[in-house]
Amino acid sequence: MKPLLLLLAGCAACSPLAAQAESLSYEQAWQQLQSRSDSLAAARAGLESKRLQREGLKGLGGPVVSFNSSAYAYNANLNLDLGHINQQLGQLAQGLSGALSALRIPSTALQLPSSYAFQRHATGTTASVSALWPLYMGGLGDATRGLIGAQAQEAQADADKTQQDVATQLVQRYFGAQLALRAAWLRQQAQRTLEQHDQAAGRMMAAGVISRVERLQASVALEDARRQALKAQDDAELAATALARTVRAEGQVSPSTALFVLTQPLEPLSHFQEAALRLHPGLNKVAAKKAQAEQLHQGEEALRKPQVFAFGSRELRSGNADWVAGVGLRWTLYDAVDRNTLAAASLKQIEQAEHSDAQARSDIALLVEQNWRAVEQARRHFVASQPSLELGREVLRLRQAGLQQGTSTTLDLMDAQTRLTQAETEQAQAANDYVQALARLLQSCGLGQDFSRYLARADVKVPTP
């Protein structure tokens, strides 16, 4: 195994893709993604928004004190017609003419101007402080705070789901890139080997050892190997680009953590199903939706009850300031809105959430079982591929020896090399299938953060190029 690893390392150093790319372990990629992912940043912002809303509404239902101030200016104009009053005064003067004459008061003394214009203007300011304190709201404040708290719970479930999705996507692209690199390296190695065999076939045909047909068959096998190597190289470069964009890297990156397999079975299915029923973000979101419906129902019921509040106001000025204080009661006796129907609607929302929870639990249990079985199938496939690899290596060794002894042809040797490359590629694919199935299983259980723990437990790792 050590000579093989040394050969892999040497060829990786010669690979153009490896020479230009930055080596990145899975843990480094995850840490980098957590700090740069826009999806995670958006989820955290939404969660923080709900937390701040809940914090801001802690004092809902307490006293409210306000300051009121105004500056004003006015101009008042009034025109009074005094003709009618003068007529009445004239009649009064005629009746008192004797008395007025004795007192030497002229009769015109009782006359007013025919009209009078009144005009006044001024400016000023007023200021007052007022307070309102709800004493009893029928539970409306608690329902509002509970609704915001349930929305924060839903935001937390969404953030958890986003983190699980991002982690699973990273596993797909990280180990997908590792598989592509492994396949490209195997195809390049096969191409180099077949080039040597093709050159040997050319010399053997010149010496008359093999026929022209066998020589052409060797050339066709070589061209096919070149085509497969170019395709694998393109796939590896595309996978590396996808990984770099996923982790927001500035240049190309090369995954350094190998594909792995735990050859022993995982924990029993019940372990993962129980974890899913406790931790799955989907169930937490359904629970949050139910809590929101319950709080909305409580709010509807609170609007049916009387509301009691204390109030007061005082003018801010020295001396004899105006003030008022008291207790108020508000109770809606009739409303055009049908409260009974709204209450029934909120109860149906609670019922909907309960049915959704039951369905989600059934679906999640089935999904966990499906993913658990997929992991087990991939594990068995990987273990079963080991004899094929050993057979391929042994056949290649025998063909090499047979070619030297004249019992095998160049075409037999090239065919053995191709089959070994195919077996090694299939084993790497089986390892990737295992890793991807494991990531999906952990995501469906809400245990995505445990992926690194299973990686550390792996007892078989596919050599990295």
DSSP SS3 for 147? helix
Q: Assess contact for 300 and 343: CB atoms under 8 A.
A: yes
Q: Could you tell me which residue, 418 or 2, shows the higher pLDDT?
A: 418
Q: Where are the beta strands (DSSP E) in 155-271?
A: 253-255, 260-261
**Among 7-21, 146-160, 403-417, where is mean pLDDT lowest?**
7-21
Query: Tens digit of pLDDT for each residue in 118-130?
Result: 778 888 888 999 9
Among 428, 435, 427, smallest CA distance to 384 is for: 427
Residue 48 has pLDDT above 90, yes or no: yes
pLDDT of 337: 83
Composition of the chain by helix, strand, coil, percent to 5: 70, 15, 15
Q: Which residues contact 143 (CB under 8 A, 6 or more apart)?
A: 295, 296, 298, 299, 302
Q: What gap in Å lies between CA 29 and CA 255, rounded to an integer? A: 9
233 with 186: CB under 8 angstroms?
no
pLDDT at residue 8 is higher than 50: no
**Fold observed for domain 2-61+138-306+337-461:** Outer membrane efflux proteins (OEP) (1.20.1600)
Q: What is the pLDDT of residue 15?
A: 47
How many whole angstroms separate alpha carbon 373 and alpha carbon 161? 22
Q: How confident is the model at residue 11 (pLDDT cuts 50, 70, 90)?
A: very low
Give me Rg for the CA atoms of the chain: 45
Q: Other CB atoms closer than 10 Å to residue 301's CB: what's the count?
A: 17
Has residue 412 got a pLDDT over 90? no
Report the percentage of the chain scoring pLDDT > 70.
87
Question: Residue 95's pLDDT is what?
Answer: 61
| pLDDT of amino acid 211 | 78
Cβ neighbors of 183 (< 8 A, separation 6 or more) are: 232, 235, 236, 425, 428
Q: Please, which pLDDT band fits residue 6 given cuts at 50, 70 and 90? A: very low
Question: Contact 379/432 with Cβ under 8 angstroms?
Answer: no
Of residues 117 and 438, the one with the higher pLDDT is: 438
Q: Residue 82, class by beta-carbon neighbours within 10 Å (0-12 exposed, 13-18 middle, 19+ buried)? A: middle
Tell me, what's the pLDDT at 20?
62
Give the tens place of pLDDT for each residue, 288-324. Answer: 999 999 999 999 889 889 999 999 999 888 778 888 9
Question: pLDDT digits over 327-342, tens only?
Answer: 999 898 888 888 888 8
Q: Tell me if 228 sits within 8 A of 422, measured CB to CB.
A: no
pLDDT tens-digit map of 89-116? 666 656 666 555 655 556 555 566 766 6
The closest alpha carbon to 221, from 200, 190, 181, belongs to 190
Torsion of CA 160, 161, 166, 168, to 10 degrees: 110
On the question of pLDDT at 248 being above 70, the answer is yes
Per-residue pLDDT reduced to its tens digit, 418-435: 888 888 889 999 999 999
Q: What is the structure's pLDDT at 392?
A: 86
The pLDDT score that the predictor gives to residue 104 is 57
Q: How far is the C-alpha of 326 from the C-alpha of 403, rounded, in Å?
A: 110
Ramachandran angles phi, psi of 313, nearest 5°: -155, 140
Of the candidates 449, 373, 340, the one whose C-alpha atom is nearest the C-alpha of residue 30 is 449
Least confident of 8-17, 37-46, 214-223: 8-17
pLDDT at 1: 36
Q: Starting at the edge strand that comes first in sequence, how are the strands of the sheet with 115-136 ordered?
A: 64-81, 115-136, 307-315, 323-330
